[in-house]
A = this chain, B = another copy of it.
Amino acid sequence: MLHIIFLFSLLFSSSHASVLDFCVADLMGPIGPAGYSCKKPAKVTADDFVFSGLGIAGNTSNLIKAAVTPAFDAQFPGVNGLGISMARLDLAADGVIPLHTHPGASEVLVVVQGSICAGFISSANTVYFKSLKTGDIMTFPQGLLHFQLNSGGSPALAFVSFSSANPGLQILDFALFANDFPSELIEKTTFLDDAQVKKLKAVLGGTG
């Protein structure tokens, strides 16, 4: 028996930290193109692989009557390097997650409560959308514009998963109107009217 344990030790008790089956993010370490540095395996516990932040309803008392709560690698270090992550969508009545993209990931959504109208637009400019009831799932291919809105009269809840630990999130209105993107450039590159641009900049806090 000692021999088997000896074999076991030989295989796994190297003096060097080992690149193991997972790489829980060390949020304070250097970051590379593949993600965060790994927390030392000896300090990893079960808690690193569990995240409770999606158990709390997001605050939907806002203009869009909706909230997105991410569990990406920056919030949930356990998914670093695993090619997967999640987020929670809360949509009050009439709530909407505005048109947005995830630059680095495909998405799948499951409706847990209420009903949601969701859709995306392809490179061929075809719009694919459908009203989803509780239990339905829908997939959104990588990098395409998509949206979700509450299509029932009561609050809706969905969980979305991504094919990346760091899918990114580019909300169209925020990208255009919630920063210092010069209005002249916005207008030239979107053909939106000046009044429209300025109106939305005022709502979303944009300047320039």
Contact = CB atoms under 8 A, between A and B. Distances in A.
A175 B59 CA distance: 30
Copy number of this protein in the oligomer? 6
Interface string A156-168: 0001011101101
Contacts of A190: 98-99, 172-173
Interface in A64-95: 64, 67-71, 73-76, 78-86
A153 interface: no
A133 B197 CA distance: 29
B17 A55 contact: no
Contact of A122 (B22, B55, B127, B203): B22
Interface string A15-31: 01111111100110111
